[in-house]
Structure 1
Amino acid sequence: MGIRFFILPAILTFALTTALSARPVSYTGGSTVMYFSDELKESVYYHYSPSYRYSLGLEWLKDKVQNKNYAYLRYTHLLNRKNTQTSQRNLYFQSGISSEGIDRNFIGLHGDWETRRLFTSFGLKHVQTDVKDYTEEYIQLGLAPYLGDYGDLHTWILFKAKRNSLTNEWNSYPVLKLFKGNFMVELGYDENDEWDAHLMYRF
């Protein structure tokens, strides 16, 4: 049945009953649980942030490329953050070492820039495996159809384009992003009939 059968409905139900911030590093002492699903993987990821500068975590992953289940020990570091009166930008380094061996790992960069109205982000990740190494990359552009107040449900309508070196083809599709309080959900459906889902709860 897979991780999705149990985790996705539970998180969606939880979202409806709780009061989001899409940052891979939390506030000092904070924890975050995330769920990811796309054509390459399905995973549940927990991380703890000893400092607002970095986080340490564990990701349980179903690898759809290798048809294997394993875990990653992950480290994420905030390389740069710039706040102004109207915008914020962030740049992160990410890395992981597989439970199947230190030679199976990934490294990457991802960043974002946003105002209350506009949002853009990118990601670049190189994955080393025992079968075939590959690279993933994406960009997202979007806008908020309305400006909510603090504590409101916030909505973004995004356009996402992504590519991996296994197929070497760009895939583009719309994504809906919702967040309120400590919970966020991003849902897209690509032209290959695959869900692209990211759910997050911070505590």
Structure 2
Amino acid sequence: MSIKDNLLRLRESVEPNATLVAVSKTKPISDLQEAYDAGQRHFGENKIQEMTDKWETLPKDIHWHMIGHTQRNKVKYMAPYVHLIHGVDSARLLKEINKQAYKNNRVIDCLLQIHIAEEESKFGFDQQELLELLASKDFNDYKNIRITGLMGMATFTDDQEQVRKEFKSLKTLLDHINENNLIHESHKLKTLSMGMTGDYKVALEEGSTMVRIGSAIFGSRA
């Protein structure tokens, strides 16, 4: 099937309840252009340099999502244009994003990454760290970032019930923050970024509003 066919098929199951982010990392410009021509506007990359090269080449109405682990020293390269940073996993990274957003006269939307998987390799805040961050003075002084939701990656396993439990925990955490007004009103926790090619259907059932799908659109990576 073509990229266009894959996108049309996925949109039927994802939209209108969630945003489909096409994970285009390592894929050539021609593949992204094909997806763009099929109406796709949200693209996800995991390397800032590669994303910047693509941003410079492709149409300017694309929304670029930084979905990988973000190095603080690279934030300045994407600060002029990035639409949403998914993997904010430390207070130090948040501080750097705020600084670079200020230099570019922007407010940059971010998701806080929560560690929901059993694997140690995944990045993110645990629940206690998150609540401490939200209550901190530094966090509430930042004027050039807007936290729009949470992101999490489930354990890489065939056990669908474990995956479901992890996604459910993230939705519960988001609801807990909103219902108890634990975040300043300048931030709006509406986005729940969870679900990839292998588990997006479970994620949608558990309340995901944004899924990150690559191989089901572009084919497997070399």
Q: TM-score range by the shorter chain?
A: 0.3 to 0.5
Q: Name the structure with the higher helix share.
A: 2
Q: Name the structure with the higher strand share.
A: 1
